[in-house]
Amino acid sequence: AADQRCTLFVLLLSAWNTMLMRYTGQSDVVVGTPMAAREDPRFESLIGQITNPVVLRSDLSGDPSFRALLRRVRSVVVEAFDHQNFPFALLVERLVDFRDTSRSPLFQVLFSMNQPFNNKDPENSFAALEMGREIKLGKNVRLSSQHVPQDVSPYDIQLVVTECVDDLPLKMQLQYCTSLFREETVKRMANHLNRILEFVSESPDRPLSQIEMLTQDEIAQQLVRFNATSSSFDRKACIHELFERRAEENPRAAAIVVGTSTMSYGEVNRRANQLARFLRRLGVDRDKIVGLFMTRGAELIVSMLA
């Protein structure tokens, strides 16, 4: 980040965008980020959270290097922050014709970064609250932190980064909608984001498509364990003969499952024989080529066996 004269915010957002692109296959990535809308002097004395979401739309097309992506994202962030005081609600009103209330408008993924704090500094008020201490603000005013459980996620998924200055440089948290993602999926996302950061810190000039975000265990699973499909069978028999043996042994066993419909071995074998006899009547014999032009489904398997 220092080498490219960009902030840590831009660097982490670029890595987050890279992961989203690799997951979705889309080069047009839209992410939202909350901004503290306190630039107006009238808001300085107000107590409470005053935030305004800002939309960050990044272009990852052309398979750029990560270093080049940093420059793109930096430009997007600078331009977006120039308009951070434009009310998000008004933006939605002007741009969105039909509002789907089941999802957030304009963006469904959030990236936010909190200011740094020091857990070891007793004079730091934020740190004191994090450590459960009570802070006296005035003669009759005391401030303490209370944990409020968050049971509802306003976005599909959001990355929250807290910058620290103690032994843990960055605290990164993924919050997600449990109706869309499983816990193991989000944990895998966290591992992939770590892998991306490790990779680009060593090879920032490699194209985004060459960034290796899979762990060694995932690579072994894809290349070795997923392909360990060998099994012993009669090598001298043809496929349709092996299928007929299975149909004779257990005709009611499920052979083909398409959506909610299931076809047994016996049913597939019966229909394949029926179609084979029809082909014979049409003059199809040994060594004759029959072309199949069909969509994937049970009928295709039946036709191949026939």
Report the alpha-carbon distance of residue 256 to residue 252 in Å, rounded: 11
Find, among 40, 27, 31, the residue nearest to 86 by Cα.
40
Report the alpha-carbon distance of residue 115 to residue 123 in Å, rounded: 16
User: What per-residue confidence (pLDDT) applies to 122?
Assistant: 45
**In the predicted structure, residue 101 carries a pLDDT above the cut 90:** no
Give the lowest-confidence range in 60-64, 92-96, 113-117, 149-153.
Answer: 113-117
Kindly indicate the confidence band of residue 259, based on its pLDDT and cuts at 50, 70 and 90.
confident
**pLDDT per position as a tens digit, 69-84:** 999 999 999 999 888 8
What pTM value is reported for the model? 0.69
- Other C-beta atoms within 10 Å of 240: how many? 15
Find, among 255, 286, 257, the residue nearest to 269 by Cα.
255
Report the alpha-carbon distance of residue 241 to residue 248 in Å, rounded: 11
Report the alpha-carbon distance of residue 95 to residue 106 in Å, rounded: 9
Strand-strand pairing, 135-136 and 109-117: unpaired
Mean pLDDT of 161-179: 83
Cβ-contact 80, 54 below 8 angstroms: yes
User: What per-residue confidence (pLDDT) applies to 222?
Assistant: 87
Kindly indicate the confidence band of residue 162, based on its pLDDT and cuts at 50, 70 and 90.
confident
Sequence-ordered list of residues with C-beta below 8 angstroms from that of 7, at least 6 positions apart, any chain: 1
